[in-house]
């Protein structure tokens, strides 16, 4: 059986912006939490054969994340890009992604990272899968083949859960489940010189514009501010014994030890 695995990835903002948030090539990179999902997909493909499709939604500049995925070894890049998608919250994003994934049928597995390094909600994977009506396990850290499909382990607080899923299915991949491969120079050359991004717009999907973008987003981010951490440096004087005594006292007082 040749697999078709879809990996949903995002081009994230690298550093918090000082003013207006503008997504452009210089400020975007492939979400580090998506790399393990790509690695899992590529290993499954190496083992069983098939195709890995990387899928992203965002402005044109999001292409950078898709090229990085192709440099890692994915076969196909699809970018959903439409001005009407601007302002989408996680629900609207999931609605659009699910509509696009349906168009990529047939597939066996849809993979996500557990969260993104910029907005950090962890909602898009599970929400998309609910809309696709697929079996799903989140925070998966090991995957084996089983007669019925997949046997996966999920890492939760202090214990492991094991699941068996029939295919097609969806997983979010634990960031420490695998070490993602480094991107080699020939991969970059191949991706940028021969790779072609398949672009899709809302017109290609079976959803209406009012389901996405501002119109389709029940949540708003009215304001945001940068977190600034004030650091104070204090010198403790006295003999070494006195300094240690004073330092330990301070740490106990602040609840860090004791």
Q: Which residues of this chain interact with another protein, rule CB under 8 A? A: 25-26, 29, 63-64, 67-68, 71, 182-186, 188-189, 191-193
* SS3 of the chain: helix, strand, coil, percent, to 5: 35, 25, 40
Q: Give the nearest distance from C-beta 201 to another protein in angstroms.
A: 21
Q: Give the nearest distance from C-beta 117 to another protein in angstroms.
A: 14
Task: Output 129 or 197, the one with its CB closest to another protein.
Answer: 197
Task: Output 9 or 71, the one with its CB closest to another protein.
Answer: 71
Q: Give the nearest distance from C-beta 114 to another protein in angstroms.
A: 20
Residues 78/56, Cβ–Cβ less than 8 Å: yes
Cβ contacts of 38 within 8 Å, gap of 6 or more: 7, 9, 52, 54, 69, 72, 74, 111, 180
Residues 258/252, Cβ–Cβ less than 8 Å: yes
Task: Output 37 or 71, the one with its CB closest to another protein.
Answer: 71
Q: Give the nearest distance from C-beta 130 to another protein in angstroms.
A: 34
Task: Output 28 or 173, the one with its CB closest to another protein.
Answer: 28
Task: Output 28 or 57, the one with its CB closest to another protein.
Answer: 28
Cβ contacts of 187 within 8 Å, gap of 6 or more: 70, 71, 72, 73
Sheet of strand 136-146: strand arrangement: 159-166, 149-156, 136-146, 169-173, 109-113, 3-9, 50-57, 76-80, 197-200
């Amino acid at each position: 059986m040749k697999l078709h695995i879809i990996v949903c990835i995002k081009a994230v903002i690298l550093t918090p912006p000082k003013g207006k948030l503008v997504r452009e090539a210089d400020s975007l990179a492939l979400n580090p939490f998506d790399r393990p999902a790509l690695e899992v997909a590529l290993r499954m493909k190496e083992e069983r054969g098939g195709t890995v499709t990387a899928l992203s939604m965002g402005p044109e500049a999001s292409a950078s994340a898709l090229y990085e995925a192709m440099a890692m070894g994915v076969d196909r890049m699809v970018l959903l890009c439409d001005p009407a998608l601007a302002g989408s919250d996680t629900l609207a994003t999931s609605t659009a992604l699910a509509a696009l994934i349906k168009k990529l049928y047939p597939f066996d597995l849809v993979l996500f990272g557990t969260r993104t390094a910029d907005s950090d909600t962890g909602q898009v994977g599970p929400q998309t899968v609910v809309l696709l009506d697929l079996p799903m396990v989140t925070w998966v850290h090991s995957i084996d083949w089983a007669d019925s499909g997949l046997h996966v382990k999920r890492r939760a607080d202090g214990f492991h859960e094991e699941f068996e899923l029939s295919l097609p299915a969806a997983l979010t991949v634990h960031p420490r489940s695998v070490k993602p491969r480094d991107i080699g120079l020939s991969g970059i050359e191949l991706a940028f010189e021969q790779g072609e991004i398949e672009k899709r717009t809302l017109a290609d999907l079976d959803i209406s514009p009012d389901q996405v973008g501002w119109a389709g987003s029940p949540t708003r981010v009215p304001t945001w501010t940068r977190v600034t951490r004030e650091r104070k440096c204090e010198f403790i004087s006295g003999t070494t014994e006195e300094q240690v005594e004073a330092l330990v006292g301070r740490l106990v007082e602040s609840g860090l030890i004791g």
